[in-house]
Amino acid sequence: MLYSEQVMEHFQNPRNMGELEDPDAVGDVGNPQCGDQMRLTLKIDPATRTITDIKFKTFGCGAAIASSSMVTELVKGKTFEEALEAETMEKELISGIAFNRDEAKLTVLGVPDRPGIAFSILGPVSDANIEVDMIIQNIGRDGTTDFTFTVHRNDYERTLEILRRHATQLGAREVSGDSKIAKLSLVGIGMRSHAGVASRMFEALAKEGINIRMISTSEIKISVVVDEKYLELGVRALHEAFELNKAA
């Protein structure tokens, strides 16, 4: 993980951590699939619509904790309208870059496009106590669809064997896999509501000739799967594009 100096400061010394008693408002954001969850509790002056106090509880990585701390500092003392302005959040939106080499991708091609197919594919994988990370199901065509997901690299061979064993039962045309991939993520706050962040990320990778194989988004993270050989180049490109080497 690469963090800016400001993010490291908020991670090591988080502000406004905890939960307010009898709050006027509660907000929950995050993505249970990737494990990052944040709850905000707020006190609001009804006459001025000002956020007089705010606290957070976050479960997740260091960047998620730092992002939560940063957003409370950004909006505390502001009116709702001021807090919601994109300009208020944009400067400090990105907390850091996370990357993981221990990923593997598996694809089941040409399975019937019917209700329950995802369970039919992932059920045996789950029964083997294999954790699944990113999941993509393509739009069906001619009554079939392709289903792709990622697992930890240590589980790759076992997962591939399970899928091949069930291929006939699934009605799959082919099962394929790739253990030479890596996951690259931008971590911050309000990622889904800032389309420019994703566009900037994709542009930075495209300029370096890095092909994106999978994309996943949540409120606090945008993740892409790329070929492992491009991981370091991708990290440097995003580091430069989002100026994470500069102190705030």
Q: What is the pLDDT of residues 145-182, one digit of tens each?
A: 999 999 999 999 999 999 999 999 999 999 999 999 99
Domain of 77 in residue numbering reads as 2-93
**What is the rounded average pLDDT of the residues 181-207?**
84
Number of domains in the chain: 1
Q: What is the pLDDT of residues 90-103, one digit of tens each?
A: 444 677 788 899 99
Q: What backbone phi and psi angles, to 5 degrees, belong to 90?
A: -60, -40
Task: Report whether pLDDT(54) > 90.
Answer: yes
Task: Provide the CATH number for the domain around residue 26.
Answer: 3.90.1010.10
pLDDT at 38: 83
**5-12 long-range contacts, CB within 8 A, separation 24+:** 5/247, 5/248, 6/70, 6/92, 6/247, 6/248, 7/63, 7/66, 7/67, 7/70, 7/95, 7/96, 8/66, 10/65, 10/66, 10/67, 10/69, 10/70, 11/62, 11/63, 11/65, 11/66, 11/69
Establish if 66 belongs to a structural domain. Answer: yes
What are the structure tokens assigned to 128, written together? 């083997």
pLDDT at 52: 95
Rounded distance, CA 192 to CA 83, Å? 17
What are the structure tokens assigned to 105, written together? 């991708």
Establish if 139 belongs to a structural domain. Answer: no
pLDDT at 20: 95
